[in-house]
Amino acid sequence: MKLHNIEFDVKNKPVLDESFIPMQKFNEAFLSEAKKPLAIAVERNNGYTYVHDTFVREGAEYADANNFYVERMVKAILWCVGGYKVTICGDDTIAAYIKSAYSASGARAFDYTMMTKVYDRAMEVHSAPYQDKPAPVFSSKPIGRNLDGCRIGFDAGGSDRKVSAIIDGESVYSEEVVWYPKVTSDPEYHYNEIVSAFKTAASKMPRVDAIGVSSAGIYIDNYTMVASLFIKVAPEDFEKQVKDIYIRAAKEIGDIPIEVCNDGDVTALAGAMSLEDTNILGIAMGTSEAGGYVDKDGNVTGWLNELAFAPCDAQPDGSLDEWSGDIGCGVKYFSQDAVIKLAPKCNIAFDEGLSPGDKLKVVQEMTDASGNYINGVEKIYDSIGVYLGHTLAYYTTFYDIKHVLLMGRVTSGRGGDMIVDTAKRVLKEEYADLAAKINLQLPDEKSRRVGQSIAAGSLPKIG
């Protein structure tokens, strides 16, 4: 295969998407003859700074390859780590290209706007000599693992909402309810659904001491900064009724502690609690792809871990994410959208009017049916597994991984086992050193579907 004058080989290709180009394979080939040092520094809140040292190629014939490589790396860092100030150290020409792309009118206007919104200050791109690259500044803090008292754990997914009533670390009640947040513009709908879940769990306990929330999106001090759950809500309604939606909902239960956390971090927390280990990357494959990470000290890093927007496919005709306007990013490869986009290639037709969650359910029911597979439906999960094997190798660029824990509706049933088995095979055959290091696994079926709500309940401290 060849892209931007870079030749590379991919042994394992998705059977339903053979033009897929793993970012890791492109990067390995690009870096094999890249000799010019370059650093990408990204600063976020409180001066925390992530620095990625790398190389680019010399020669005019590699200008497009250099721009593509660095732009995709900047994109990945922004959504894995987060930040508002990008400094390209070592090449003014590449820096100018990145500054043009990541601007209010550039190709990455979505990313520029989102980072500006998350950090409440305009995103910047600068150039600097390589020797003047900033020093890294890290963040790490404990998360969750509080099991005392009577707690509500709430997990807000895009297709269903889960809630658990937890007494001294044991779930005494859990429920899973289908809802439609991503297609509903009325913020009162979201608020009432959240309050209903809280009140249901509260009714199963003698009192409520704390509420923990796992929710897709970016949250700072329990305020909603960016979240696809509320994508249909008008901006003015978002500011007035969504930004503090969980804080207001908690007050319906009482004046008690509440902690709201990104659902990916809660996935990683659930893994850390069950495995009693560290260096865990949690990936929730549901309405979107959520990520979370627990580091070597068992803490969270303050990174965004929004893997839905991190690139994984380098092909020029990669799947388009309608929200960001970008192609080849995780949301279309590790979510129910991936299942839906691949299903027609197995001659699976959906009834008009079905929600995305219902379409996923159709495929899962076919997959879990007794007897032989229907319409080659296993090819869907095999393809997602190939995506995952290659992309886990790419994620190790940013994360030190010992365990990968998969959760979310896409991983339920036989399909989840197929994804894991295929991803392990790809790692073994193409990235043998990583295959020996990374433990990829699914939790048991019950934990897979409600484990996040239980882990969420451990987020707040009481007293």
Q: Tell me: the pLDDT tens digits for 322-361?
A: 989 999 999 999 999 999 999 999 999 999 899 898 999 9
Q: Is 168 exposed, middle or buried (0-12, 13-18, 19+ CB in 10 A)?
A: exposed
Q: Which residue has the tokens 């492109």?
A: 26
Q: Is residue 60, in this structure, part of any structural domain at all?
A: yes
Is 206 in the same domain as 246? Answer: yes
Lowest-confidence region among 168-177, 265-274, 278-287, 403-412: 265-274
Is 295 in the same domain as 228? Answer: no
Is 395 in the same domain as 311? Answer: yes
Residue range(s) defining the domain that contains residue 197:
150-260
Judged against a pLDDT cut of 90, whether residue 274 lies above it is answered with: no
Nearest-CA neighbor of 76 among 284, 285, 286, 312?
312
Please state the rounded mean pLDDT for residues 359-388. 86
Please state the rounded mean pLDDT for residues 106-133. 96
Is 414 in the same domain as 389? Answer: yes
CA of residue 116 relative to chain centroid, distance: 19
Whether residue 287 contacts residue 155, with contact meaning beta carbons closer than 8 Å, is answered with no
pLDDT band at 216 (very low <50, low <70, confident <90, very high): confident
Is 115 in the same domain as 39? Answer: yes
- Number of structural domains (the chain) is 3
Residue 397's CB is within 10 A of a number of other CB atoms, namely 15
Residue 120 or residue 449, greater confidence: 120
Is 325 in the same domain as 419? Answer: yes
What is the reported pLDDT for 444? 64
Is 300 in the same domain as 441? Answer: yes
Report pLDDT digits (tens) over 73-105. Answer: 999 999 999 999 999 999 999 999 999 999 999
Residue 52 or residue 347, greater confidence: 52
Residue 32 or residue 300, greater confidence: 32
Is 244 in the same domain as 272? Answer: no
Q: Is residue 137, in this structure, part of any structural domain at all?
A: no
Q: Is residue 140, in this structure, part of any structural domain at all?
A: no
Please state the rounded mean pLDDT for residues 115-131. 95
Judged against a pLDDT cut of 60, whether residue 108 lies above it is answered with: yes
Domain stop point among 260, 280, 304 = 260
Please state the rounded mean pLDDT for residues 192-215. 97
At residue 150, φ and ψ (nearest 5 deg) are -100, 120
Note the pTM of the prediction, 2 decimals: 0.87
Is 346 in the same domain as 410? Answer: yes
DSSP 164-183: EEEETTEEEEEEEEE--GGG
Domain stop point among 214, 239, 260 = 260
Q: Which residue has the tokens 């494959």?
A: 285
Nearest-CA neighbor of 96 among 134, 122, 66?
66
Is 172 in the same domain as 228? Answer: yes
What is the reported pLDDT for 262? 85
How far is residue 455's CA from residue 140's CA, in Å, rounded to a whole number?
19
What is the reported pLDDT for 371? 54
**In the chain, pLDDT over 90 holds for what percent of residues?**
77
pLDDT band at 16 (very low <50, low <70, confident <90, very high): very high
What is the reported pLDDT for 286? 86
pLDDT band at 141 (very low <50, low <70, confident <90, very high): confident
What is the reported pLDDT for 457? 94
Residue 237 or residue 265, greater confidence: 237
Domain stop point among 213, 237, 260 = 260
What is the reported pLDDT for 376? 86
Q: Is residue 459, in this structure, part of any structural domain at all?
A: no
How confident is the prediction for the chain on average, in pLDDT?
A: 93
Report pLDDT digits (tens) over 415-459. Answer: 999 999 999 999 999 999 999 999 999 876 545 544 677 889 999
What is the reported pLDDT for 448? 52
Judged against a pLDDT cut of 70, whether residue 206 lies above it is answered with: yes
Residue 66 or residue 369, greater confidence: 66
Q: Is residue 376, in this structure, part of any structural domain at all?
A: yes
Is 370 in the same domain as 427? Answer: yes
How far is residue 343's CA from residue 237's CA, in Å, rounded to a whole number?
36
Nearest-CA neighbor of 4 among 72, 50, 54?
72
pLDDT band at 374 (very low <50, low <70, confident <90, very high): low
Q: What is the CATH number of the domain that holds 335?
A: 3.30.420.40
What is the reported pLDDT for 375? 62
Is 284 in the same domain as 432? Answer: yes
